């Protein structure tokens, strides 16, 4: 279905599956100190694409409830097929845009954790993801080996969404640089009702 440029099984396992699994340790270590168990948490994967990392997280942690948010019909059909084939009961596929669902009472400030991988730069991701996270929850962005400047540029956007950057965690990876970074933000207060802005605006006019 042309969902990823990586086609060899071994390379998929290394670059996609292991990369997705690498998010779990920093998620767990960041979640526990803030007073909430990481058992039975609700996770939304924003821009899930081929189910990376959300589908992988759902398989690895069957006690987590995982929502795969994807705007493209073709990708949603693949995700629904993958969920059916694997028999997962802890996954919900939702077709829609983050800018719209961020205002839907069923999704707004509903999730314990939002994750995103290979979707957009941090300024844009903050507006996509943080409105979906409950106060006290986490947003984790899977980034490259050196995201410091990107994260610094996104500090205003993160703060406008009611959050702050908690930490940058280096994680082992099979990327060309040998490591990736999990950028972890904590939601400190409610997101103002004017965010997220209309579909397309966050990407065209980052905060």
Going residue by residue through the chain (207 aa), what tens digit of pLDDT does each one get?
666 666 666 666 566 678 888 889 888 888 765 555 657 899 999 999 999 999 999 999 999 999 999 999 999 999 999 999 999 999 999 999 999 999 999 999 999 999 999 789 999 999 999 999 999 999 999 998 889 999 999 999 999 999 999 999 988 765 555 678 999 999 999 999 999 999 999 999 999
The pLDDT assigned to 171 comes to: 81
Asked if residue 52 lies in contact with residue 20, where contact means CB atoms within 8 angstroms, the answer is yes
Q: What is the per-residue pLDDT for 7?
A: 67
* DSSP state letters, 123-151: HHHHHHHGGGEEEEEEEEEEE-S--HHHH
Position 144 scores a pLDDT of 81
CA 197, 159, 38, 145: dihedral to nearest 10 degrees? 90
Say which DSSP state 14 is in. Answer: I
CA atoms within 13 A on the CB side of 27: 26
What pLDDT is stored for residue 131 in this prediction? 98
Please calculate the CA angle 109-114-118 and round it to the nearest 5 degrees.
140
Topology of domain 9-29+39-204, CATH:
Rossmann fold (3.40.50)
pTM: 0.91
Residue 177's pLDDT is what?
Answer: 53
Q: Chain centroid to CA 78: how far?
A: 18
What's the pLDDT at 36? 55
User: Backbone phi, then psi, for 180, in 5-degree steps?
Assistant: -130, 175
Calpha distance 139→13 (Å, rounded): 24
* Ranges of H-type helices in the chain: 9-12, 18-21, 24-31, 54-60, 73-86, 98-101, 122-129, 148-153, 155-160, 201-204
Going by C-alpha positions, the residue among 185, 186, 168, 172 that lies closest to residue 22 is 172
């Amino acid at each position: 279905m042309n969902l990823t440029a990586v086609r060899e099984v071994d390379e998929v396992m290394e670059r996609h599956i292991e990369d997705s699994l690498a998010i779990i340790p920093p998620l767990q270590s960041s979640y526990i100190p803030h007073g909430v168990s990481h058992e039975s948490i609700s996770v939304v994967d924003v821009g899930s694409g081929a189910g990376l990392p959300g589908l992988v997280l759902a398989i690895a942690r069957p006690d987590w409830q995982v929502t795969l948010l994807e705007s493209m019909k073709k990708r949603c059909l693949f995700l629904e097929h993958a969920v059916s084939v694997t028999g997962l009961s802890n996954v919900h596929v939702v077709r829609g845009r983050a800018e719209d669902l961020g205002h839907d009472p069923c999704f707004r400030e509903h999730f314990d954790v939002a994750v995103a991988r290979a979707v957009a730069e941090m300024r844009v991701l903050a507006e996509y993801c943080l409105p979906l996270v409950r106060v006290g929850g986490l947003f984790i962005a899977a980034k490259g080996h050196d995201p410091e400047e990107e994260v610094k540029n996104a500090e205003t956007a993160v703060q406008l969404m009611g959050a702050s950057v908690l930490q940058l965690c280096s994680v082992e990876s099979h990327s060309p640089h040998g490591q990736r970074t999990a950028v972890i933000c904590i939601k400190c207060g409610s997101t103002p009702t004017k965010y997220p802005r209309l579909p397309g605006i966050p990407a065209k006019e980052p905060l």
